[in-house]
Amino acid sequence: MPDQRDTPIRILIVDDHPVVVAGLASMLGTQPGIEVVGSASSGEEALELLRTTPADLLLLDLRMPGMNGIDTLHAMRSSKITKRAIVLTSFEADEDIYRAVQAGAQGYLLKDACQTEMIEAIRAVHGGTRYFPRDIAARLAERMMRTDLTARELEVLHMLARGLTNKEIGSALDISGNTVRNHVNSIIEKLEVSDRTEAATTAILRGIIETHG
């Protein structure tokens, strides 16, 4: 029976930026015990490759056109694809980290991580443990202690971020001004902020809601 230590860790890189893929493949290709077995530019392509490519671990971008990283993790779980995954991203908002872990990521690294840390993370996650840099782990722990916003509160929060008044929110959602006020107060309490403006700003910074344009 071959020694498992002699078997390379087979990596699938999932990222829609060719320069990132080329850089990672070049860097990891020089590491003993690690083999890059393929790359995909989307979540859909990654799922197809995983059916035929003998990968052990994914380095997974968070934001991609079509199926993003978190959608890909959910799809893997639904399809009973049990490969381990490290999210490798430029984004570090609290909610991004939390959603990735909830979806099944075993590690979370920023793309500016040094080579030593990336190799350490790959070996740790492949070995069955999780890997989160200290600051990421602290923010994840803090986020997990906060109460989740309800679907209705998220709707209200999106409208707060657009600058709508309570009356305008009530009209849009067909609810009373008093009900809107209760939702706003609940949002402020859950986000631990002082007012509606800070609630909207904090939600954007943490990645709870996204702005476009």
| pLDDT, tens digit (0-9, with 9 covering 90-100), for 47-93 | 999 988 889 999 999 989 889 999 999 999 999 888 999 999 988 88
| Same domain flag for 124 and 158 | no
CA dist list (Å): 24 to 54, 130, 198 = 18, 21, 39
Is residue 212 assigned to a domain? no
d(CA 132, CA 121): 8
- Of 78, 91, 84, 90, the closest CA to residue 107 belongs to 84
d(CA 136, CA 97): 8
**Band (213; pLDDT cuts 50, 70, 90):** very low
Q: What is the pLDDT of residue 5?
A: 55
CATH code of the domain in which 32 resides? 3.40.50.2300
| Same domain flag for 45 and 126 | yes
Is residue 46 assigned to a domain? yes
Structural domain for 135, as ranges: 4-144
d(CA 160, CA 200): 6
Amino acid at 34: I
| Same domain flag for 11 and 63 | yes
Is residue 211 assigned to a domain? no
| pTM, full prediction | 0.72
Q: What is the pLDDT of residue 144?
A: 77
CA end-to-end distance (rounded Å), the chain: 57
Q: Which of 93, 114, 144 is the last residue of a domain?
A: 144
Is residue 111 assigned to a domain? yes
Give the pLDDT confidence of 172-212 residue by residue, as tens digits: 999 999 999 999 999 998 888 999 999 999 888 887 887 65
CATH code of the domain in which 166 resides? 1.10.10.10
| Same domain flag for 71 and 96 | yes
